[in-house]
Structure 1
Amino acid sequence: MNIIQIIMDAGRTAVDIALYTLVPVMVVMLILMKYLESLGVLARIINWTAPLLKPFGLTGLSLFALIQLNFVSFAAPVATLAMMERKGVSDRHLAATLAMLFAMGQANVLYPLTPMGLHWLAAILISVAGGLVAGAVTWHLLARKLPMKEVISPDDAEVHSPQKKGLISIINSGGSEAISLALGAIPMLILSMTVVGILKAAGMITLLEQALSPLLSTLHISTVLVMPTLVKCLAGGTAYLGVATDLLQSGKINAQMLNASTGWLVQTLDLPGLGIMLGAGFRVARVARFAIVGALVGIVVRGVLHMLLF
């Protein structure tokens, strides 16, 4: 096993993904989101839809977090979660919002996979549906004993008021933030892909595929999905993107398999996602045990819908 070669290959793949896949997509999407925010469009959307989200245990800020996750990045809603905690949103609302975020797909994986055959509109709609299911299950069942009282009475639907900024300023700030997010993913990408490369070179992936082959055959699932599933759970969505890109380019999986597996492979309930989301605040971490179970329900719903459609 050539460890140095594995590290070098992982580094090249990580930099290629960050510079030529993540940066272009993230720059355009962040600039668009910031421009809509400066016009007050996002604030109006939140005001209109906040009453519709109440049955799911979600608030206006929850909707903003939903938009950030599905249209910007998996890391984008962390600031919104922190704001919800600071403004005193109840533990029960926090649990429902966190469950929603864990169950949904992240934009930094969905968008780069779209040119490779992912049905973006279906993926987004199913992602939102899974998130709403996760939020509702958490609100009505799992977290029903958590306090509903606000620590501070927040006007969360009016938090994101329009800010007057020039177009050049929006482009510069959105572009620099997008590049920072993309480049910040490189260390995790390199490390996770190195681990995967070592496991693959040691034959561990093959052994796992053989062990799971009978079960997967019964479920009509290809064993080639074992490696990306393992990578997703241990290293997160960005690392999965790298592995999925490699599998698609080598022809080991096709667009149909990509779409059918997106329901359970593109979500934020993984080790890096847990670490990032729970870092938003103490109360967010405290309600995580309720949110994780609710998120699993939402992920199952997404997985079934993707398999039925594709």
Structure 2
Amino acid sequence: MTILITAILDAGRSAVDIAIFTFLPLMIVTFSLMRYLEGVSALRSIADKASPLFRLFGLDGFGALAIIQLSLVSSAAPVAALSLMVHKGRSEKFIAAAFAAVLAAAPANASFPLASLGVDPGLIILNGICGALVASTLACWIVGRRSLPGKICSCDRADDRDVARHDLLAAINRGGADAIGVISAILPMLVISLALVRLTQSTGALSAVTSAAQPLLQLLGASQQDVLFILTKCLAGSSAAVTLLIDAHKQLSLPPDPHFC
């Protein structure tokens, strides 16, 4: 019982500290910027101009918009673009390509907080976009080649008629509210996932698993800490994995390394 309570309290302190003092400020700024760009239809304009290039990778304007929103806002941002594709009856082939791209790209709620460790968020975003394009190409032209052909669309101005133009102050207010909502949504999962991680470490379960799989880990060049990060990412998502990484970095008392990646 003592181990359980200690794990929960430690996880709660780490999750609240990272969520409030690292995630929240960055999300407020990025959400406010994206809300302002949406208000002046800049995101749709960018997606329109990028659409001819993205078509080579099986993506239409909405697919490009989903990647932009994921990379610059959060992992929840592309839901609207994907839902709009379904509502407009786009081919399953292109919906699958957009979904594959979203799964492969690096979300902003994971990339921007890593800047506190000296990681270049721009490099993470660029690598994520490259991975997204590879995933969308495979989903559309290789895996989905037998699907029914569909029309690749662009995000035209007609889709922006119901989007109200916001001034900067309104965008900041709405972006801040969105950021607080996202933090409120991810905080319980952060606490629970980090508590499970603490329990896994304190009970020796992780050590037992990694010891049993030591030959495979040596072949892959992975350590016990790598296994911990991968399990956290798969079970609890990017935010929990980044929280664990930042927490481990703080425990080691390491200064930010500009060459860390």
TM-score (norm 2): 0.91
Residue aligning to 1:25: 26
Q: 1:164-190: per-residue Cα shift (whole Å, max 9, x none)?
A: 222221111111011111121111111
Is the deviation greater in 101-110 or in 36-45? Answer: 36-45
Three-state SS of the structure 2 residue aligned to 1:218 is helix
Residue aligning to 1:130: 131
**For residues 68 and 14 of structure 1, do their structure 2 counterparts lie closer, same or farther at Cα, with a shift above 3 Å needed?**
same
Distance 1:257 1:166 in 2: 39
Which residue identity does 1:93 align to in structure 2?
F
Residue aligning to 1:71: 72
Q: 1:233-281: per-residue Cα shift (whole Å, max 9, x none)?
A: 111111111211122122399959962xxxxxxxxxxxxxxxxxxxxxx
Residue aligning to 2:145: 144
Which residue identity does 2:155 align to in structure 1?
D
Equivalent pair of 1:14/1:242 in contact (CA under 8 Å): yes
Equivalent pair of 1:56/1:136 in contact (CA under 8 Å): yes
Q: Which residues of 2 match residues 271-282 of structure 1 at below 5 A?
A: none
**For residues 223 and 6 of structure 1, do their structure 2 counterparts lie closer, same or farther at Cα, with a shift above 3 Å needed?**
closer
Q: Which residues of 2 match residues 70-219 of structure 1 at below 5 A?
A: 70-149=71-150, 156-158=155-157, 159-160=159-160, 163-219=164-220
**For residues 24 and 181 of structure 1, do their structure 2 counterparts lie closer, same or farther at Cα, with a shift above 3 Å needed?**
same
Equivalent pair of 2:101/2:135 in contact (CA under 8 Å): yes
In structure 2, list runs of 5 or more residues that go unmatched.
none
Equivalent pair of 1:88/1:154 in contact (CA under 8 Å): no
Equivalent pair of 1:90/1:147 in contact (CA under 8 Å): yes
Identity over the aligned pairs, expressed in percent?
Answer: 34
Structure 1 residue 155: deviation in Å? 5.5
Residue aligning to 1:224: 225
Residue aligning to 1:6: 7
Which residue identity does 1:249 align to in structure 2?
K
Structure 1 residue 45: deviation in Å? 0.9
Equivalent pair of 2:36/2:167 in contact (CA under 8 Å): no
Equivalent pair of 1:46/1:157 in contact (CA under 8 Å): no
Q: 1:100-119: per-residue Cα shift (whole Å, max 9, x none)?
A: 01111111011001120212
Distance 2:229 2:6 in 1: 21
TM-score (norm 1): 0.77
Which residue identity does 1:156 align to in structure 2?
C
In structure 1, list runs of 5 or more residues that go unmatched.
260-310
1:61 aligns with 2:48: no
Structure 1 residue 78: deviation in Å? 1.2
Distance 2:79 2:111 in 1: 19
Distance 2:23 2:83 in 1: 25
Equivalent pair of 1:208/1:226 in contact (CA under 8 Å): no
Which residue identity does 2:194 align to in structure 1?
M
Three-state SS of the structure 2 residue aligned to 1:156 is coil
Q: CA RMSD in A?
A: 2.2
Residue aligning to 1:39: 40
Is the deviation greater in 239-248 or in 25-34? Answer: 239-248
Q: How many pairs are equivalent?
A: 257
Distance 2:38 2:169 in 1: 15
Three-state SS of the structure 2 residue aligned to 1:148 is coil
Equivalent pair of 1:70/1:105 in contact (CA under 8 Å): yes
Distance 1:6 1:97 in 2: 39
Distance 1:60 1:140 in 2: 17
Three-state SS of the structure 1 residue aligned to 2:213 is helix
Q: 1:203-247: per-residue Cα shift (whole Å, max 9, x none)?
A: 011112223333332333333211111111111111111211122
Structure 1 residue 154: deviation in Å? 6.1
Distance 2:57 2:154 in 1: 18
Equivalent pair of 1:213/1:223 in contact (CA under 8 Å): no
**For residues 118 and 237 of structure 1, do their structure 2 counterparts lie closer, same or farther at Cα, with a shift above 3 Å needed?**
same
